Amino acid sequence: MRVLGIETSCDETGVAIYDTELGLMAHQLYSQAKMHADYGGVVPELASRDHIKKTLPLINAALEEAKTAPERIDAVAFTAGPGLMGALLVGATIGRTLAYAWQVPAVEVHHMEGHLLAPMLEPNPPEFPFVALLVSGGHTQLISVEGLGHYILLGESIDDAAGEAFDKTAKLLGLDYPGGPLLSKLAQSGTPNAFKFPRPMIDKPGLDFSFSGLKTAAANAVKANQNHLTQEITDQIKSDIAFAFQEAVIDTLFIKCQRALKQTGFKRLVIAGGVSANNALRKKFNGLLKQNIQVFYPRTEFCTDNGAMIAYAGWRRLTLGARAPLAIKTRPRWPLTDI
């Protein structure tokens, strides 16, 4: 089976073609980050308009990259949620229309299930069951994954997602949008123990997260170290704050994942979503290998939103008999456990 996948949930337009025998045949991605940087964050209306401009050209580019034709596509998968309503509607409308025109099945894909299954595209994919840490700009969740579609929410952020906290703290440090990767780069020059930030909620039972207080701690550190005349801080202090913030986030995620693995008894951990590309995070979590825990990540280019994970997840959903109705329905809010 050959599946065309379309991802337009936020500020990346992704199109890919996955073949069950040949693997990933094409992967096209366009990021709107430069456009939204002028506004310090994603502007939904601009995102939707840009998806309208980019989706069809990327589909043509993917068909050309795969050296295939529409007649060889067996199904079309598209992100139906969660995400920005306008952005989702672009991909869903195009995807459902193409499936109707090509007379092939269409399938709605949950964006976070796409992230959860992204490591399955790697040469050494994880086997079920496993614990999944989904960590991105919009979500921080721990999921018990017993099989495809068998998901139990173990814990989630009660306020800011980890990626959102990264971006907001980066803005406090004067970094451009998207700030998460820039903060991580800045942290490489930081001095260990120059600042000590809290590890939120690790002393409380359960597997929920909270990152708003950590962001506040970083804001207080910035304010306390500003020059009283210029209201600026030195580059080294910025690096030290970035280091301490990143370390606190990673430690918190690590401690909660250890608890989830102990609670479930599973020996496999999947980490996916934009923050999973963080090198410091991967270095920390690779230490679980000493505890006989296998850790799986998507390749870096599949950590952020992309069409490959949607095409793959679409195929897996098709094997379960999923089919999208003719009526186009998108879900800006869609709990993973509801699919």
What confidence tens digit (pLDDT) does each residue in 258-291 have?
999 999 999 999 999 999 999 999 999 999 999 9
Which candidate, 184, 202, 163, 286, places its Cα nearest to that of 243? 184
* Residue 213 annotated as binding site: no
What confidence tens digit (pLDDT) does each residue in 14-73 have?
999 999 999 999 999 999 999 999 999 999 999 999 999 999 999 999 999 999 999 999
What is the rounded radius of gyration, in angstroms, for the C-alpha atoms of the chain?
A: 20
> Considering the chain, what percentage of its residues have pLDDT values greater than 70?
100
* Residue 180 annotated as binding site: yes
Which residues are bridge partners to 133 per DSSP? Answer: 142, 271
Hey, how many other C-beta atoms are within 10 angstroms of the C-beta on 326? 8
State how far the Cα of 191 lies from the Cα of 243, in Å rounded to an integer.
7
- Are residues 338 and 99 in contact, defined by beta-carbon separation less than 8 angstroms? no
* Residue 153 annotated as binding site: no
DSSP state of 110: E
| Residue 56 pLDDT | 98
* Residue 111 annotated as binding site: yes
Q: What is the mean pLDDT of residues 175-202?
A: 96
Mean pLDDT (the chain) is 96
Q: What is the mean pLDDT of residues 161-187?
A: 95
* Residue 265 annotated as binding site: no
Residue 85 burial (C-beta neighbours within 10 Å; 0-12, 13-18, 19+): middle
| Residue 230 pLDDT | 83
pTM of the shown model: 0.96
* Residue 320 annotated as binding site: no
| Residue 227 pLDDT | 86
* Residue 138 annotated as binding site: yes
* Residue 139 annotated as binding site: no
- Per-residue pLDDT at 162 exceeds 90: yes
* Residue 135 annotated as binding site: yes
Q: Which two tokens stand for residue 151?
A: 């998901």
| Residue 295 pLDDT | 98
State how far the Cα of 294 lies from the Cα of 131, in Å rounded to an integer.
11
State how far the Cα of 80 lies from the Cα of 186, in Å rounded to an integer.
36
- Per-residue pLDDT at 229 exceeds 80: no
| Residue 165 pLDDT | 95
Of the pLDDT bands very low, low, confident and very high (cuts 50, 70, 90), residue 156 is very high
